[in-house]
C-alpha cells in the first residue's frame, strides 16, 4: 500500500485552527480593575484554573499589557501567575507591536496566536495589523477551555513540559548571547545528545502532534494521523524515525520526525520535520546525514519530496547543504536526490545515539 493510498483509507485529524500561544491583556482581563488606578485589583473568577489548564495542554502563554512593567510583574508574582508567561510585554507600545515581539521571541507562526483583551479598540488594532491572530473578547474567557482551538487532539509528555522546555531555551539563548567564542565552541558547552531510532507506539501521539504543529520546518507540508503513523511504524515498506535531543540543561523532548518509503532500489523521504526550537543546533543536518549513511549501507538511492514555500526555506537549504539536487517533480512536489558521496561525520560538539 502506498503512502497516498493509505491517506485515503485512514481518518486524518481535523484541519482546524489550533492555538499554540495565548497572549493576555491584564486590566479587566486577567484581573478586575485597572492597576494604575487601584493597586488592590482582584483576579477574575476561575482565571487561575484557566491559565493552569492551558499550560497543562501545552499551550504557551504571554502578556501584552499597557502598564508599568515592574508594578504589573510584581502583581503577577503576588498572584502566583508570573511563571506562566513567557516574554511578557508590559509597556506603552501598541498591543500589535507587543504581540509581534512575542511571535519573534517564541519563533512560532503568528497564525497560531490568540489575543484576549476587554477593549474592542485593542482587539481591532491587533486584527488590523496581525489579521492571522485570533482575537477574543475577555467576556468570552469563561468559555475559553471549551473552544476547539484550545483543545489539542492529544496531550503528550512533551505538551505537559512545553513551558519548562521553552524556559530552558531562554536560559540557553542568554548563555549563547553572552558567549564570545565561535558557535561550535558554545554548542560544545551544551553537551548535547541526539537520539535517533524507530518510532515506538508510545511515540505516536507526539509524532502526530509534530506533524500538526510544525509548519515552518516541514519539508513536504503533510500531516499524518495517529493511525497512519501506526501503519507506517509497522510497515515493512516504510521507516518511521523519531529524534530526541537532550543537553546538560535538560531535555528538548522529541523534536524530529522522518518518514521514508523504502522501495527496492530507492528510499524516498516523504516527510522530514524538525521543531523550530532546535534548528539552530545543527541537528537537521545530522539527521539527514544519518539517512544518507543508512541508504548507502543498504545499497539504495536516496530521494526526498519537498514542497517549496516561504516557511520552509531553511529546510530546503539544509537539503542543499547536504548535496541534494532537484531531479524532477511529482504532484506539485520537487523530487530531490542525493549521490551519497562525501558524507561528513556528525559534529564533535554532539553525541549521536542510534537506538
pLDDT in tens, 105-132: 998 889 999 999 999 999 999 999 999 9
> What is residue 13's predicted lDDT score, i.e. its pLDDT?
41
> What is residue 144's predicted lDDT score, i.e. its pLDDT?
97
| Strand, coil or helix: 318 | helix
Q: What is the mean pLDDT of residues 325-337?
A: 93
| Contact between residue 219 and residue 306 where contact means Cβ atoms under 8 Å apart | yes
> What is residue 216's predicted lDDT score, i.e. its pLDDT?
60
| Strand, coil or helix: 296 | helix
CA distance 246 to 156: 18
> What is residue 3's predicted lDDT score, i.e. its pLDDT?
54
| CATH architecture, domain defined by 3-13+183-354 | 3-Layer(aba) Sandwich (3.40)
The three-point CA angle 350-353-354 to 5° equals 135
pLDDT at 12 over 60: no
Beta-sheet strand order (sheet of 192-198): 324-330, 333-338, 301-306, 266-274, 250-262, 238-247, 192-198, 350-354
pLDDT at 4 over 70: no
DSSP 125-161: HHHHH-TTSEEEEGGGGGGGGGSGGG--S---HHHHT
Q: Give the pTM.
A: 0.79
Q: For cell 543537553, what's the residue? A: 247
CA distance 210 to 216: 11
Break the chain into its structural domains and give their ranges.
3-13+183-354, 21-150
Stretch among 208-222, 248-262, 307-321 having the lowest mean pLDDT: 208-222
> What is residue 214's predicted lDDT score, i.e. its pLDDT?
62
> What is residue 107's predicted lDDT score, i.e. its pLDDT?
86
pLDDT at 5 over 70: no
**323: exposed, middle or buried (C-beta count within 10 Å: 0-12, 13-18, 19+)?**
middle
Alpha helices in the chain (DSSP H): 3-9, 47-56, 69-78, 95-106, 120-129, 157-160, 162-178, 183-190, 204-213, 226-234, 283-297, 313-321
The H or E element containing residue 334 is strand 333-338
CATH of the domain spanning 21-150: 3.40.50.1000
CA distance 280 to 181: 16
φ, ψ for residue 15, nearest 5 deg: -90, 65
Quickly state the pLDDT bin for 189 (edges 50, 70, 90): very high
CA distance 286 to 258: 13
Nearest residue to 203 via CA among 211, 214, 215 = 211
DSSP label at residue 219: S
CA distance 69 to 71: 6
Mean pLDDT (the chain) is 91
| Contact between residue 48 and residue 140 where contact means Cβ atoms under 8 Å apart | no
Rg (CA), the chain: 22
Query: Tens digits of per-residue pLDDT, 166-177?
Result: 999 888 988 999
Stretch among 65-69, 91-95, 305-309, 348-352 having the lowest mean pLDDT: 305-309
Amino acid at each position: 500500500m502506498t503512502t497516498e493510498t493509505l491517506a485515503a483509507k485512514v481518518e486524518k485529524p481535523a484541519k482546524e485552527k489550533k492555538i499554540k500561544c495565548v497572549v493576555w491583556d491584564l486590566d479587566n482581563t486577567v484581573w478586575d480593575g485597572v492597576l494604575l488606578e487601584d493597586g488592590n485589583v482582584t483576579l477574575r473568577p476561575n482565571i487561575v484554573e484557566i491559565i493552569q489548564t492551558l499550560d497543562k495542554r501545552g499551550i504557551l502563554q504571554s502578556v501584552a499589557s499597557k502598564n508599568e512593567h515592574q508594578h504589573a510583574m510584581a502583581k503577577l508574582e503576588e498572584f502566583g501567575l508570573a511563571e506562566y508567561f513567557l516574554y511578557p510585554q508590559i509597556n506603552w507600545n501598541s498591543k500589535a507591536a507587543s504581540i509581534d515581539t512575542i511571535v519573534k521571541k517564541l519563533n512560532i507562526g503568528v497564525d497560531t496566536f490568540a489575543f484576549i483583551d476587554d477593549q474592542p479598540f485593542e482587539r481591532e488594532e491587533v486584527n488590523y495589523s496581525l489579521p492571522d491572530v485570533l482575537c477574543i473578547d475577555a467576556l468570552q474567557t469563561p468559555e475559553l477551555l471549551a473552544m476547539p482551538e484550545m483543545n489539542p487532539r492529544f496531550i503528550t509528555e512533551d505538551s505537559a513540559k512545553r513551558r519548562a522546555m521553552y524556559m530552558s531555551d531562554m536560559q540557553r539563548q542568554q548563555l549563547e548571547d553572552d558567549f564570545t567564542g565561535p558557535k561550535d565552541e558554545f554548542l560544545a558547552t551544551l553537551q548535547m545528545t541526539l537520539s535517533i531510532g524507530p518510532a515506538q507506539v508510545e511515540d505516536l501521539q507526539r509524532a502526530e502532534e509534530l506533524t500538526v504543529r510544525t509548519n515552518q520546518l516541514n519539508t513536504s507540508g503533510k500531516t499524518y494521523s495517529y493511525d497512519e503513523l501506526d501503519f507506517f511504524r509497522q510497515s515493512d515498506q516504510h521507516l518511521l524515525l523519531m529524534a530526541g535531543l537532550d543537553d546538560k540543561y535538560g531535555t528538548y523532548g522529541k523534536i524530529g520526525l522522518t518518514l521514508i518509503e523504502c522501495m527496492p532500489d530507492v528510499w524516498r523521504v516523504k516527510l522530514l520535520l524538525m521543531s523550530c526550537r532546535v534548528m539552530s543546533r545543527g541537528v537537521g543536518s545530522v539527521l539527514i546525514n544519518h539517512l544518507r549513511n543508512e541508504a548507502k549501507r543498504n545499497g539504495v538511492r536516496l530521494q526526498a519530496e519537498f514542497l517549496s514555500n516561504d516557511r520552509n526555506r531553511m529546510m530546503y537549504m539544509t537539503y542543499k547543504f547536504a548535496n541534494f539536487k532537484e531531479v524532477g517533480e511529482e504532484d506539485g512536489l520537487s523530487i530531490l536526490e542525493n549521490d551519497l558521496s562525501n558524507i561528513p561525520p556528525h559534529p564533535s560538539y554532539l553525541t549521536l545515539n542510534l537506538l
